[in-house]
Amino acid sequence: MPSVSSRLTGGAAVLLLATGLLSFPGLAPNPYVLSAGIVVLHYAVLATSWNFVGGFTGYLSLGHGALAGLGGYGTGLLVTKAGLNSFVALALAMLLVSALAVPIGMAALRVRGASFVIVSIALVLILLLVFQSWASLTGGSRGLVVPRPFDLSRPEHHRVFWFLFSGLLALALLAWWLIDRSRFGLGLKAIREDEDKAEALGTPTFAYKLVVFVVSAAFTALAGGLYALWFGDLDPVFQFSVLTGSYLVLMALLGGVRNLFGPLVGALVVGVALEYFKVEFGNTPLHLVATGVLLALVVLFMPDGVLPAAGSLLRRLRPAGEQASIRDVTAAELRERRRAEEVRR
């Protein structure tokens, strides 16, 4: 069970997040800032969705941008071609992508490590070629225009979608939190630490990986579909980009993949940085260089992420009588304490 201090910290984080999400539309000075905030919030939902697979199982997927693209195009095509209501189309697209994630997962999750990364990249590239070439359905390189679901002014349109993305983020965080505290989540963490040993101990590793992959795909598709309804213009080059998957990995690693709010913090930092770099450098590759430098700094100085590094610093600063309970201490920290006690003896 978590300690009292952990519960208080978690409660404060939830309160701070809720306050920020509810107050930002009123604090944004103009529609552009609000729209940039929606882009960052969209990244936060995608990074949290990615973390169902990356955080729990340790499988680093660069192909989640493809699942978001499928969600976006599925929603857009169901609205424009089938004439469905926007949010009925969003729900149906999520179900279709979830169903498609089953055979994709059955094929991709049979390999591990670098092979899994390569398979995930191949998925993105295949879908990019399909959606660019199938111009009669998808619009090809011309893109696909998705009608707005609401007849609102531009500022009000942004405001409504800010709260829709906020609700989706809250739902994704709740689902991650529940899995983290379940027997299912324990099995996923066992896969992350040592998959062969977990399987030898009776954990149905492949089934667990497939289920969490489908859950991740569902939330990713919802994020992609909601983006399509908000932005209204889909381009296959952008929707099926390997860079999107790379950004999600960077965001999750920066914040901390084993922490509930890690991808959110990473999305806030990386998303704001990306928007700033794009404004400063335009369409030049310099924003990619800056992103690469940020990733290198994270790997070198904070390999576990910002939140774990901050938590470790706070634990070291606590007085001796206020140290965390043994449940909050890692095996490495226990070994260090034992060594220190042996030295004192």
Residue 263, domain CATH = 1.10.3470
Report CA-CA distances (Å) from 241 to 124, 150, 247, 263.
7, 28, 10, 19
Query: Which structural domain, as residue segments, surrounds residue 269?
Result: 17-285
Check residue 3 and give its pLDDT: 59
Q: Per-residue pLDDT averaged across 24-35, rounded?
A: 93
pLDDT, one tens digit per residue, over 95-142 is: 999 999 999 999 999 999 889 999 999 999 999 999 999 999 999 989
Any domain includes 145: yes
Any domain includes 304: no
C-alpha 106/C-alpha 120 separation (Å) is 13
Q: Per-residue pLDDT averaged across 52-66, rounded?
A: 93
pLDDT of 333 over the 60 cut: no
The reply to whether the predicted model has a pTM over 0.95 is no
pLDDT, one tens digit per residue, over 160-213 is: 999 999 999 999 999 999 999 999 999 999 999 999 999 999 999 999 999 999
Any domain includes 249: yes
pLDDT of 321 over the 50 cut: no
Any domain includes 309: no
Report CA-CA distances (Å) from 108 to 122, 211, 330.
10, 13, 32
pLDDT of 50 over the 90 cut: yes
Q: Per-residue pLDDT averaged across 248-258, rounded?
A: 89
Any domain includes 142: yes
Structural domains in the chain (count):
1
Tokens 């980009």 identify what position? 241
List of residues 6+ apart from 197 with CB closer than 8 A: 190
C-alpha 224/C-alpha 237 separation (Å) is 14
Any domain includes 310: no
Average pLDDT across the chain, whole number: 88
Any domain includes 260: yes
**Quick check: 252 and 303 in contact, CB under 8 A?**
no
Any domain includes 205: yes
Q: How many C-alpha atoms does 109 have within 13 Å on its Cβ side? A: 23
